[in-house]
Amino acid sequence: MTTKPEDPATAPPGRPPVVDPATWQAARDALLVREKAHTREGDAIAAARRRLPMVELDGTAEVVGPDGPVPFRDLFQGRDELVVYQHMWYDGAPHQGQCEGCTTTAWHLKDAVYLNARGVSFAVVTTGRWDEVASYVDFMGYTQPWYSVRGVEPPIGGEMGHLVCFLRDGDRVFLTYSTTGRGNEPANGSLGLLDMTPYGRGEAWEDKPGSWPEGHQPCWYWRSDAAGNATWGPDSRPVPQWTRPGATPVETLGRNGHHH
């Protein structure tokens, strides 16, 4: 039994128009042309990225991890390539006061087995003091290696919130690539999936029909209260924290002001 397609003009507000399968397929096929062009351009950009020059760094620069100070080149774990995420840090803040944007990246990269299988190591670095960092890593249940780069010069230390790629040649270490902002999005698979949905990310900057649900500020859903309501308020946490043991409701972020 088939049902008669609804008249798009009478479709429920805030919903895509309802059409027959053939009309949907035609629209889908038209979009596919653009998607394939986007994929090919992405491949071309990646090819150009592989041809970037590189800068030699001091691989002996000391970072601090669970075994104490170690040279930065130890993060390669014997492999030739290394991807690092530089996690922002608020000194002295409780767990709920740490950066929700960096949490999204670190959480999505909880397991690096596929990187490792390709000969690439992964680590998270941050400017926090190691005792605070170690407590946070334990609370979050992270299993990938974390290190404190407090006081270390860029690009190993310095400003956080970047994805950085390094190459090793014996004891020599080189910077090959770095990105920040929306350049970090490939690490966050949830964003790509949200981009496939009718309502997208639900952010104010998105181009969507006027009848769609109202958008909010960027990344508005990365923090929530205990009931799951997206909020930047003092009773919020980065979303994954609510799954962690002991993640009780809070009343303060434990740091001065917001960075949004």
> Strand runs (DSSP E) across the chain, as ranges?
55-57, 62-65, 68-71, 81-87, 120-126, 146-148, 162-169, 172-180, 223-224, 237-238
CB 121 within 8 A of CB 82: yes
Q: Given this model, what pLDDT does residue 260 score? A: 39
Single out the residue of 227, 209, 226, 206 nearest to residue 96, CA to CA.
Answer: 226
Strand bridging mode 81-87 / 120-126:
parallel
CATH code for the domain of 88: 3.40.30.10
Q: pTM score, two decimals?
A: 0.91
Residue 215 lies in a domain: no
Residue 65 lies in a domain: yes
Tokens 């309501």 correspond to what residue? 229
Q: Given this model, what pLDDT does residue 256 score? A: 67
Residue 133 lies in a domain: yes
SS3 at position 228: coil
Q: Given this model, what pLDDT does residue 2 score? A: 46
Q: Given this model, what pLDDT does residue 258 score? A: 45
Q: How far apart are CA 127 and CA 133, in angstroms?
A: 9
Residue 13: HSE in the Cβ half-sphere, 13 Å Cα cutoff: 4
Q: Given this model, what pLDDT does residue 11 score? A: 67
pLDDT in 10s for each residue of the chain, 260 residues: 444 555 555 567 899 999 999 999 999 999 999 999 999 999 999 999 999 999 999 999 999 999 999 999 999 999 999 999 999 999 999 999 999 999 999 999 989 999 999 999 999 999 999 999 999 999 999 999 999 999 999 999 999 999 999 999 999 999 999 999 999 999 999 999 999 999 999 999 999 998 999 999 999 999 999 999 999 889 999 999 999 999 999 999 998 654 43
Domain count, the chain: 1
Residue 8 lies in a domain: no
Q: How far apart are CA 223 and CA 239, in angstroms?
A: 5
Residue 117 lies in a domain: yes
Residue 149 lies in a domain: yes
Owning domain of residue 77: 50-186
Query: Which amino acid is present at 103?
Result: T
Residue 29 lies in a domain: no
Q: Given this model, what pLDDT does residue 76 score? A: 98
Residue 134 lies in a domain: yes
